[in-house]
Structure 1
Amino acid sequence: MTTEEEYLRKGHLYRRQGDLSRAFRSYCQALKLNSDSPIIWNNIGAIFYIGGYQSLAISCTRKALLLDPKYCNAKTNLELIEESLVLHHKATKIKPKLLLSLLQ
């Protein structure tokens, strides 16, 4: 029988190899064994973020913080995700102006 820790290790390995799909499946298997693990929720959030699903990344990371409000990795990840969204929003506002200035 595979344990939660083994699924987490597999997930970390797959994520380092760039295989987000297999990493996600491994983390989900770990989650089935322990749905109250902030570590697992944080890792799933990281997979969503890497895959470009920021809103899902935020939801999972917030779930990790709900389970453990002092979990520093989740706090840091949430701050980074939210900051990247702000920067993306600013860039999409600036980009059209930049394009217009280049055309003139």
Structure 2
Amino acid sequence: MTADGEIDATNGKALGRFVERHTGISTQLILDLSNVEFFGSQGFRALYYVDVHCARSDVDWALVGSPAVRRLLEILDPNVEFPLVEDLAAAQSRLNCLARCHRLVMGRG
């Protein structure tokens, strides 16, 4: 999923709900925010909502963040709890690795 422009109080909640509605049949998600120009605190809340939803739904995810997203996460997520990666290739690599791990754990590897 891709979002661009601004994520703020007017649309942060909608982003979280959109992700929730569209991850029903998937076990993986790449949230590409690499073109987000402004990322406010409601954007952070949306990411927290996405993180909780994905954990509850067994959806592995990766986040590609723009400089604006990264800047806010440096402040509000200093322990790097969100699965932030550099680019789409790194996101895909992360999810491929997680899928392999899941197969090994399930004995299908």
TM-score, normalization by structure 2: 0.35
Greater share of strand residues, 1 or 2?
2
Greater Rg by CA: 1
Tell me the TM-score normalized by structure 1. Answer: 0.36
